[in-house]
Chain A
Amino acid sequence: MTTTTILDDLKKKKIHALLKEGQRVDGRALDEPRQLIIDTGVIPKAEGSARVRLGDTEVVCGVKVQPDKPFPDLGDRGIFICTAEILPLADPAAEPGPPGEEVIELARVVDRGIRESGMVDLKQLVLEKDKSVVGIFIDNSVTDYDGNLFDACSYASVASVLSCKIPKYNYADGVVTKVEGEFTAPPITTVPVSVTMGKIGNNIIVDPNADEWACMDARITITTNEAGNICAIQKGGNNGFTPEELVQCGKISIATGAKIRDMLKKAGRS
Chain B
Amino acid sequence: MGVKKTDIVLLDDKGIRCDGRKINEPRRIMIKAGVLKNANGSAYIEFGENKILAGVFGPRDVHPKHLANTDRGILRCRYHMQPFSVGERKNPAPSRREIEISKVIKEALEPAVMLENFPRTVVDVFIEILQADGGSRCAALDAAAVALADAGIPMRDMVSACAAGKVADTIVLDINNEEDQEGQADMPVAYMPNLGKVTLIQLDGVLSPQEYEKCVNTALEGCKIVYEVQKKALQEKFFGDSQ
Contact = CB atoms under 8 A, between A and B. Distances in A.
Interface string B75-93: 0001010111111110010
A60 B82 CA distance: 10
**For the side of the interface on A, what is the size category?**
20 to 34
B38 interface: yes
A87 interface: yes
A42 B44 CA distance: 13
Interface in B1-54: 1-2, 36-39, 42, 49, 51, 53-54
Interface string A101-143: 0000000000000000000000000000000000001010101
Contacts of B86: 45
Interface stretch (B108-116, B126-134, B203-211, B226-234): B126-134
A186 to B, nearest CB: 16
A92 B92 contact: no
Given A44-B49, A45-B131, A139-B92, A96 B126 contact: yes
B180 interface: no
B57 interface: yes
Nearest to B84: A62
A10 B1 CA distance: 63
A110 B83 CA distance: 17
A89 B89 contact: no
Interface string B165-195: 0000000000000000000000000000000
Given A60-B82, A139-B82, A180-B1, A145 B38 contact: yes
A91 interface: yes
20 contacts: A43-B84, A43-B85, A44-B131, A45-B131, A45-B132, A46-B84, A60-B130, A87-B80, A88-B78, A89-B39, A89-B54, A89-B55, A89-B128, A92-B39, A92-B57, A92-B60, A96-B78, A139-B84, A139-B92, A180-B1
